[in-house]
Amino acid sequence: MEKPLLRTSKETAEMLGISRSTLHRWVKAGKIPCIRIEQNSVYFTTDDIDKFIEESRTRFKPINPTPQLKSGIREKGITDE
């Protein structure tokens, strides 16, 4: 099944694990691009969402990862080097 080209703000917020109000703050701050079809209709392309997720992964590292996260990082061979 193909991914839809556009996602609603509700779908996008759920994908990112954030509230819709946080998503709209990020849009206003320019952190994630959107498409405005009408004044109150905001949509997001799946490519933009995927790109945002990938960039966020490389930007943010946990300062003090939990023991479970540390073991998962070791298993995947990820290092701070």
pLDDT given for residue 59 in this prediction: 60
* pTM beyond cutoff 0.85: no
Q: Work out the number of other CB atoms within 10 angstroms of the CB of residue 49.
A: 18
The string of pLDDT tens digits covering residues 5-52 is 899 999 999 999 999 999 999 999 999 999 998 888 899 999 999 999
pLDDT given for residue 67 in this prediction: 61
CA separation, residue 66 to residues 18, 53, 56, 71 (Å): 21, 21, 19, 9
Residues 11 and 26: beta-carbon distance below 8 Å? no
Which domains does the chain carry? 6-76 (1.10.1660.10)
User: Phi/psi at 9 (nearest 5 deg)?
Assistant: -65, -35
